[in-house]
A and B are shown apart, each in its own frame.
Chain A
Amino acid sequence: MFNWKEFENAQNIFIQVGQEHYHMQWGQHHVDVRPKDFLRWIEMLKDDLGYLTLVDIAGVDRRDLANESGCQFELVYHLLNMGNHQRLNLHLHVNEQEIIPSIVSFFAHADWMEREQSEMLNLEFDRPMVSLLLPRDQEIYPLRKDANIKNWPQEKTLPLPRLRINPNKSEAPYPDEAYSWKKFDVLSSETLGLFEWLVCFDPQKVVQSEVHVGFHHQGFEKILEGFSWIQVMQLVDKIQVGAAPTYSVAWAKTIEDTYRVKIPERAQAIRIVMLELARIAEHLTVLGEMTYAMKREEFKLFINCREKVYELFEKFCGHRQGLSIANVGGVRVDLPHGWIIEYQAVSNILNKNLKIIHYSLMSQNNFRSMLEGSSVNAQAVLHWGVSGPAMRASGLNFDLRKSQPFYFYRDIDFDIPVGIYGTAYDRYLIRLEEIFQSLRIITQVIDNLPLGEIMNPDFSTLVLDKDQMPATHHWHFSSLESPNGEAGFFHLPGSEFHPYRIKIKTPSFALTQALPHFMLGLGEDQIKACLASLGIRRMEMDR
Chain B
Amino acid sequence: MILKRNYYNKISFFKTLWYRRQMVKLQGEKLFKVFNLHKTEWPDKLYFYSPRLKKRPRFVGTVEDLSNWKDAKMCETLCPTHAIKVTAEAFMIDDRGCIVCGLCVEMAPPGLLEMVSESSLIHRSR
Contacts and interface: CB of A to CB of B under 8 A. Distances in A.
Do A and B interact with each other, yes or no?
yes
Interface in A371-423: 415-420
A104 to B, nearest CB: 35
A230 B103 CA distance: 9
B26 interface: yes
B53 A320 contact: yes
Given A231-B80, A323-B101, A430 B53 contact: no
A296 to B, nearest CB: 12
Contacts of B11: 359
Nearest to B9: A362
Contact of B1 (A324, A353, A359, A416): A416
A231 B101 CA distance: 9
A318 B52 contact: yes
A359 B43 contact: no
A297 B27 contact: yes
B5 A429 contact: yes
Contact of A324 (B2, B44, B78, B102): B102
Contacts of A429: 3, 5
A385 to B, nearest CB: 24
Contacts of A232: 80
Interface in B17-39: 19-20, 22-23, 26-27
Given A318-B50, A320-B53, A359-B8, A417 B3 contact: yes
B80 A318 contact: no
B106 interface: yes
Interface stretch (A150-158, A301-309, A527-535): A301-309
A462 B100 CA distance: 16
B99 interface: yes
B42 interface: yes
A314 interface: yes
Nearest to A418: B2
A297 B5 CA distance: 22
A214 to B, nearest CB: 24
Nearest to A426: B3
A356 interface: yes
A297 B40 CA distance: 12
Given A418-B2, A418-B3, A230 B78 contact: yes
A353 B26 CA distance: 8
A356 B26 contact: yes
A147 interface: no
Interface in A306-328: 307, 314-315, 318-320, 323-324
A57 B106 CA distance: 37
A433 interface: yes
B107 interface: yes
B14 interface: no
A284 B8 CA distance: 21
Interface residues of B, number: 34
Contacts of B1: 415-418, 433
Interface string B57-81: 0000000000000000010001111
A360 B50 contact: no
Contacts of A433: 1, 3
Interface string B40-57: 001111010010110100
Contact of B3 (A235, A359, A430): A430
A420 B45 CA distance: 39
Nearest to A433: B3
Contacts of A360: 19-20, 23
A66 interface: no
Among A227, A315, A324, A356, chain B packs the most CB atoms within 10 A around the CB of A356
A357 interface: yes
A463 interface: yes
A502 to B, nearest CB: 14
B107 A463 contact: yes
A348 to B, nearest CB: 14
A303 B43 contact: yes
Nearest to B55: A318
Nearest to A223: B80
Nearest to A353: B26
A522 B22 CA distance: 34
A356 B2 CA distance: 21
A262 interface: no
A235 B80 contact: yes
B55 to A, nearest CB: 8
A474 interface: no
A300 interface: yes
A371 to B, nearest CB: 12
A231 B74 CA distance: 13
Contact of A304 (B3, B16, B43, B81): B43
Contacts of A353: 26
A415 B1 CA distance: 6
A234 interface: yes
A9 interface: no
A422 B45 CA distance: 37
Contacts of B107: 462-463
A415 B2 CA distance: 9
A210 B74 CA distance: 49
7 contacts: A303-B43, A307-B47, A319-B53, A323-B101, A360-B20, A416-B1, A463-B107
Interface of B: 1-3, 5, 8, 11, 16, 19-20, 22-23, 26-27, 42-45, 47, 50, 52-53, 55, 74, 78-81, 99-103, 106-107
Interface of A: 227, 230-232, 234-235, 297, 300-301, 303-304, 307, 314-315, 318-320, 323-324, 352-353, 356-360, 362-363, 415-420, 426, 429-430, 433, 462-463
Given A307-B43, A353-B26, A430-B3, 8 more contacts: A227-B80, A230-B78, A231-B78, A234-B101, A304-B43, A304-B44, A315-B50, A418-B1
